[in-house]
Each structure stands twice: as structure tokens, then as C-alpha cells.
Amino acid sequence: MKNYFGDMMSNGYQLLVNDKVVWPYELEESQKVELLQQAILYFQELEEYEKCAILKTKIEHIFNPPKRRRGRPKGSKNK
């Protein structure tokens, strides 16, 4: 029998690690973290530790979002 739950978790993982995750508006930070932690527990059981590490960085980004750069990239010669 096909593992539909495993497929769902793999597809969900792909959505969660996307650079531009679109979280539902009403989802609080604590709920986002809980969802990511549950995914980490699932992938730990499968011993997919690389996925766990990536999900942990997503949790860190919730509390410390990366700073956005403004202006031209360094070394840009277009004026």
C-alpha cells in the first residue's frame, strides 16, 4: 500500500523550506514554530537529519528574519 502520509509530509516539507513561505495570516509565531517542530520530529524518526537542520533554520528565521538588502549589489557597475 502506498504511504500517503509520507507523501504528504514530503510535499509539506517542500512547501515549508520554500524561500517565500506564505503562512496563513491568522497563524501566530508560536503555531508556526510548533508546526515546524512536529515536522522535525517526523523527519528525525526517518533519520533525515539534513531536513531537520533546514527546518531548524526556518525556526530561527521566524525569530530573527534575515535583513533585506536595499540598493544595488556590491560591485555593480550599472549606474
pLDDT digits (tens, 9 = 90+) for 10-63: 999 998 888 788 888 999 999 999 999 999 999 999 999 999 999 999 999 888
The pLDDT of residue 79 is above 60: no
Residues contacting 35, CB < 8 A, separation 6+? 16
Checking if the pLDDT of 77 tops 90, the result is no
Report the distance separating Cα 43 and Cα 13, nearest Å: 10
In this prediction the pTM is 0.76
Q: What is the pLDDT of residue 71?
A: 66
For the cut 80, the answer to whether the pLDDT of residue 74 exceeds it is no
Considering only CA atoms, which of 37, 30, 2 is closest in space to residue 16? 37
pLDDT attached to residue 2: 80
